[in-house]
Structure 1
Amino acid sequence: MEQRIMEVLRRMQPVLEDEELRELKNVLHMVFAGCDVAQKTEVQCVDNSWRIDMEDYLISKALEGKSVDTVKRYRYELSRLLSYINKPVADITDGDISGYMRAYKSIREVQNSTLKGVRAVYSSFFVWLRDRDRIRKNPMVLVESIKVAKRVKRPFTDTEREQLLRSCATIRDKAMMEFLYSTAVRVSELASLNRDDIRWSSKDLIVYGKGGKERTVYLNERTNMYLQEYLQSRADNNPALFVGLKSPHNRLSKAGIEDMIRRAGERAGVEKAHPHRFRGTSITNAINRGMPLQEASIMAGHAKTETTMLYCNVDQESVKYHHKKYLSA
């Protein structure tokens, strides 16, 4: 019986987290307590032929300029899928993939938005295989698409941003919040910046976004003032733009930045305070205050303006004003 339970756990490992596996093990022991299993002699081979295809695909994505984190995520999702199905890639059907995705959603209780992202990884992989004649047909063509309700995330109001700023315990935190708003950078981009990246004479800097694409972002006067005050207050030699408050003053990580913003939100009574919301707020305010959509897209580092519009919450009063201005007659 113990061997059978371990076999179940092995098969479920690709779709369950460690805590869920432990819970499943306990349930199986309770359900099958006192039961005997008549074993049927059968040999099942584990197929690892897909690993070569997966590694070739991941190398291709890395050469295209995908970030290390993106390639790592692709590896994680594909390894779980392919080890669960346990077939050569040429033999995988749409039913295999659909069955795994249904189990993935049911067991892990993920949102459709998460599942849609996972499906996109699978689709990219099998398109790559088909384009290189490693499979005869792409099984993802017949895998059901996933509908996700499009929701524009609400930006910070001017009052909420001021409340967050007043709740900051240090000049570092003020400088960081203003920097996030002025530049609309991603939190991962912020964490990788150095002091020397700032071009003080022109009040701008170059950041490297997804796929290593570079863009120029700008510092407004308030950000410039807080940032200079913060850097002048530092006594460490770390080249990082933002560092921890305690010795040895290591570079502030993505998680550290997120934690700082979250705690500031709790102190200020501002819900859902996180770094990415500053990005959406910056893009929304820029467009509502007159910046052309194409320029806002460049500022955000988006390849398509449609992506920029997902971040933007257009002011209805602005729509009403321009309707009256252009369509009054």
Structure 2
Amino acid sequence: YSRHTLQSYLADLAELSQFLKKQVGVQNFEPAKIDTLLLRHYASSLFGRYQAASIVRKISSIRVFFRFLVKQGILEKSPAESLSLPKVPKKLPHFLIQDEAKALVEVAPEGRDRAILEILYGAGLRVSELSGLNIENLNLEEEWLKVRGKGNKERIVPIGKKAGQALKFYLLGRKSGPVFLSQGGGRLTVRSIQRIVKSWSLKAGLKKRTTPHSLRHSFATHLLEEGADLRGIQDLLGHSSLSTTQRYTQVSLQHLMEVYDKSHPRA
């Protein structure tokens, strides 16, 4: 698991512990004394306080924890397996149209932030992948980079001339270490990258809420609009399932319908 995932698991378990202490009177978090009824009581308390996606994650964290205890021989059976998960409404990915993406990338001057925007839009990386990039992962002559994505899987992603040029300008001959550095010289965090994207989107005059992930969605949607093969997009994004990538066909169709409705005299 990534550090971010582990931190989320720990936070979810801490919340469960606090609930058991305050609401049920369980002072010590002893897994052997926690049964399905207690967990259902906790799960029901989440409704009304959190959105469905957050509830799913919290219950999933508990399931993972108890499965681990069973695997380690600490428990014979997990009390969390029968917990039901709420249905999460499927949201279509949020993306920028091509002119908006161009405006966002080009509003930043040459340097670190320009390189970040070029890579997010030009390579479709997840923000955690961007943060984790090392200079050793780059091949700027052949214009590709190597990333380690979900499930610790490596993939090669082309970056194109503009992103390559932005990286060369920013790196200024650095040969090793993290690609993107903070002002203090450490690796740039996911949160910092999110703030950078938000800041430049405001400066570009974008009215849409823009995140690193919406640039990833824009990357995929624009490839599809220009005729790219769905399997190829799947490989570029690092999706393990084609069904995940197929969401972009819905986005592209929705966008085409909006263009038609606005532009065609018979719409």
Instruction: State the TM-score, normalizing by the size of structure 2.
Output: 0.79
Q: Is the 8 A contact 1:92 1:139 kept in 2?
A: yes
Question: Partner residue of 1:305?
Answer: 242
Change (3 A) 1:113 1:295: same
Q: Is the 8 A contact 2:70 2:77 kept in 1?
A: yes
Change (3 A) 1:252 1:126: closer
- In the TM superposition, what whole-angstrom CA distance separates every residue of 1:45-74 from its partner, at most 9, and x where no partner exists? xxxxxxxxxxxxxxxxxxxxx123222322
Q: Which of 1 and 2 has greater Rg?
A: 1
Structure with the greater relative contact order (CA < 8 A, sep ≥ 6): 1 or 2? 2
Q: How does 1:1-329 map to 2 (within 5 A)?
A: 66-82=1-17, 84-85=19-20, 86=26, 88-106=30-48, 109-130=49-70, 134-135=74-75, 137-232=77-172, 239-244=177-182, 249-270=185-206, 271-310=208-247, 313-316=250-253
Aligned length: 249
Looking at structure 2, the residues matched to 144 and 229 of structure 1 have their Cα atoms a distance apart, in angstroms, of 52
Looking at structure 2, the residues matched to 156 and 90 of structure 1 have their Cα atoms a distance apart, in angstroms, of 50
- In the TM superposition, what whole-angstrom CA distance separates every residue of 1:86-105 from its partner, at most 9, and x where no partner exists? 36434433321121123344
Question: Partner residue of 2:262?
Answer: none
Looking at structure 2, the residues matched to 179 and 134 of structure 1 have their Cα atoms a distance apart, in angstroms, of 45
Q: Is the 8 A contact 1:203 1:224 kept in 2?
A: yes
- In structure 1, the gaps of 5 or more residues are 1-65, 321-329
Change (3 A) 1:83 1:203: same
Q: Is the 8 A contact 2:115 2:170 kept in 1?
A: yes
- Amino-acid identity (%): 25
- In the TM superposition, what whole-angstrom CA distance separates every residue of 1:233-287 from its partner, at most 9, and x where no partner exists? x8x888332234x5x5544322222111101111122121111111111122223
Q: Is the 8 A contact 2:95 2:218 kept in 1?
A: yes
Looking at structure 1, the residues matched to 14 and 50 of structure 2 have their Cα atoms a distance apart, in angstroms, of 18
Instruction: State the TM-score, normalizing by the size of structure 1.
Output: 0.65
Return the letter of the residue paired with 1:95.
L
Return the letter of the residue paired with 1:150.
K
Looking at structure 1, the residues matched to 30 and 6 of structure 2 have their Cα atoms a distance apart, in angstroms, of 22
Q: Is the 8 A contact 2:135 2:175 kept in 1?
A: no
Change (3 A) 1:205 1:305: same
- In the TM superposition, what whole-angstrom CA distance separates every residue of 1:120-156 from its partner, at most 9, and x where no partner exists? 1122233444566654544334323211110012211
